[in-house]
Structure formats: structure tokens, C-alpha cells
């Protein structure tokens, strides 16, 4: 793991200690990604003779970034993103433009609400994104890293992520207690 990823995850973990907040992030990040690429899936683009949509085209640079950041995690995210991009394209191909935009708006509102609830209710602090905008791109890496850890892979990531989640911020008195 690169020193850059280690620093980024160490900082990110400080904002994501509560298990409920982490669970809301898993759902919220997936919903936000789908909500963001859904309207872009309405716009066809031809690249090197291949017909794709703008959602796929705009997702490629960030997928490459995640793969370069950490190859196994990045590939896993790319696989999940491929499923979400396929879902978005399927919806876009079978629904009217109005319905696609309505679904997208609802998904984005739900995704943002889950992030806010996770941070305000369970962490009792502002989202990491407010202090460090690069955390917007780190959320999917964190979620996938937690999945890898739960499956027994990547002890190097577990050392970082579980270190931050070994304590939970208790709202009564604002005291951190070890679990």
C-alpha cells in the first residue's frame, strides 16, 4: 500500500468510526453513484467506434484513479461500478427522460441524506468531505476496503481501518470509549 493511501485512509477513518455510519455509507455511496450516472446514461457517445454513454465515459478516469491507488480494491470497485453503470443504462433505455431524472434526483437526495444522517446522528460531526474534498473520491475505497477486511483479506488495510474504528464516539459527554 502506498504512503499516500495510508495517509488518506487514516484521515478518512477518523470521520467514520461508528458502525451505523459506515453501514449508511455503504448504501449511500452506491445510491449516489447510481444517481449521478443515471442521467448521464441518457447521452450516447461514440469513442473509437464504440457506442457508450457519457456516464461510462466520465466514470473511466475515476475508476483508473482507484485502480492506480490500490490495484485489487480498484478492480473490485470497477466491477461494482460496471454493474451500476449497466443498471443505469438499462433504466435509461427503458424509461422516459422525465422518469430517469426523477429517479436520479430521488437517489441523490436519499444518498446525501444517508451521509448526513450518518455523520450528524452517529458520528456527531460534520462529514469528512467538508474538511477535505478529496474524501469524495475516498468513500468507495473505504467501503470496498471494509468489504475486503470482512472477507479476511488485506490485513494491511485492516490495521488502518480497524485502528480508527476500535473506539466509538459516545454522544453523552463526548467521551471516546474502547470497545
Q: What is the pLDDT of residues 10-52, one digit of tens each?
A: 888 888 888 898 899 999 999 999 999 999 999 999 999 999 9
Which residues in the chain land under pLDDT 50? 167-179
pLDDT score, position 163: 65
pLDDT score, position 59: 96
pLDDT score, position 172: 33
How many distinct structural domains can be found in the chain? 1
Whether 32 maps to a domain, the answer reads yes
Whether 137 maps to a domain, the answer reads yes
Whether 10 maps to a domain, the answer reads no
Whether 153 maps to a domain, the answer reads yes
pLDDT score, position 101: 98
Whether 132 maps to a domain, the answer reads yes
The pTM of the full predicted model, rounded to 2 decimals, is 0.84
The domain in which residue 94 lies consists of: 19-165
Whether 13 maps to a domain, the answer reads no
Torsion of Cα atoms, 112 then 116 then 122 then 125, to 10°:
140
Whether 104 maps to a domain, the answer reads yes
Whether 158 maps to a domain, the answer reads yes
Mode of pairing for the β-strands spanning 50-53 and 167-170: unpaired
Amino acid at each position: 500500500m502506498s504512503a499516500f493511501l495510508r495517509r488518506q485512509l487514516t484521515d478518512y477513518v477518523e470521520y467514520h468510526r461508528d458502525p451505523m455510519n459506515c453501514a449508511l455509507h455503504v448504501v449511500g455511496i452506491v445510491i449516489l453513484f447510481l444517481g449521478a450516472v443515471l442521467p448521464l446514461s441518457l447521452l450516447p457517445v461514440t469513442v473509437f467506434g464504440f457506442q457508450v454513454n457519457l456516464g461510462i465515459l466520465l466514470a473511466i478516469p475515476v475508476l483508473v484513479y482507484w485502480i492506480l491507488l490500490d490495484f485489487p480494491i480498484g478492480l473490485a470497485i470497477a466491477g461494482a461500478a460496471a454493474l451500476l453503470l449497466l443498471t443505469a443504462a438499462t433504466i435509461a433505455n427503458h424509461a422516459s427522460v422525465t422518469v430517469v431524472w426523477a429517479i436520479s434526483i430521488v437517489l441523490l437526495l436519499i444518498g446525501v441524506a444517508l451521509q448526513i444522517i450518518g455523520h450528524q446522528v452517529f458520528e456527531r460531526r460534520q462529514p469528512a468531505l467538508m474538511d477535505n474534498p478529496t474524501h469524495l473520491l475516498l468513500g468507495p475505497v473505504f467501503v470496498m476496503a471494509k468489504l475486503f477486511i470482512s472477507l479476511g483479506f488485506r490485513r494491511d488495510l485492516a490495521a488502518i481501518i480497524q485502528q480508527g474504528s476500535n473506539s466509538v464516539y459516545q454522544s453523552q459527554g463526548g467521551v471516546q470509549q474502547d470497545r
